[in-house]
Every structure is written in structure tokens, then in C-alpha cells.
């Protein structure tokens, strides 16, 4: 699976990884914001600027893209699934009553408190009943 680990998490295991995942998501969100300052719609102007001494802006955008890519890869290597990068929505595959489900966490939430059936997605989130 291209170096990405597939595993099931207990709620405790997912919560234990949360500080690490949160750090990666903070990097992703910061890189995304930086990249949006040099949005794709501005790319032709950036290319032109490169010939006029504007290469620094392009270099900076590429550096932010590399930070984002490394953070995404780090999350995926943990076995955590990124469902919506823009919202920071992540799923931790888990087992519940013998069937595969997802423990759901979104950037900005203080804890993992939700789960959903794998085909239900965010709209089907249900509170964890521990």
C-alpha cells in the first residue's frame, strides 16, 4: 500500500496518536493557507514574475507544498485516513461489534468523540458510547 500502514485503532490508540496527528494537521493547515496566498489562478502571473525577479514567490509556494506533502504522508503512514484535507477531517479505521467502522476526528476538535459506518461518512457521525 505504498508504505502506508493499514490497521485498526481502538479508541484509546486513536486518542494516543491525536497529539501527533494534530501537529501534522496544524502544518497542513498553515501550508494550505500559505499556498492559497499564491493561488492556482495566479500561476500564469507567477510564471511571468519568475522572469522579472519574482522567482522567490514561486519558490516559497513550492516550499509550502513540500511541507504539506510531508505532513500528509506522515499522517497516512500512521494508518489514519484523510477524508477532507480542506476541513482537516480524518478517519481512524476501527472495529465495532465485529464490523469495520471509522473513528472520526476533525481539526479543531479537542478529542475523538465520534464514529460512523464506513459508507456513512461525516453525515453519519454518531457519538462514541464508551
pLDDT in tens, the chain (130 residues): 455 668 999 999 999 999 999 999 999 888 888 777 775 665 455 456 555 666 666 677 778 888 889 999 999 999 999 999 889 999 999 999 999 999 999 999 999 999 999 999 899 999 998 6
CB 77 within 8 A of CB 3: yes
pLDDT value for 47: 54
pLDDT value for 41: 62
CB 5 within 8 A of CB 79: yes
Domain boundaries, the chain: 11-127
Nine-digit cell at 63? Answer: 516550499
Amino acid at each position: 500500500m505504498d508504505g502506508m500502514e493499514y490497521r485498526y485503532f481502538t479508541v484509546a490508540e486513536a486518542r494516543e496518536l491525536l497529539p501527533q496527528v494534530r501537529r501534522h494537521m496544524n502544518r497542513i493547515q498553515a501550508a494550505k493557507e500559505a499556498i492559497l496566498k499564491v493561488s492556482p489562478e495566479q500561476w500564469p502571473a507567477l510564471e511571468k514574475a519568475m522572469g522579472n525577479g519574482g522567482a522567490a514567490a514561486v519558490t516559497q509556494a513550492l516550499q509550502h507544498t513540500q511541507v504539506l506533502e510531508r505532513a500528509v504522508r506522515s499522517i497516512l503512514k500512521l494508518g489514519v485516513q484523510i477524508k477532507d484535507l480542506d476541513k482537516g477531517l480524518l478517519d481512524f479505521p476501527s472495529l465495532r461489534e465485529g464490523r469495520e467502522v471509522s473513528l472520526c476526528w476533525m481539526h479543531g476538535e479537542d478529542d475523538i468523540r465520534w464514529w460512523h459506518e464506513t459508507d456513512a461518512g461525516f453525515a453519519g457521525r454518531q457519538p462514541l458510547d464508551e
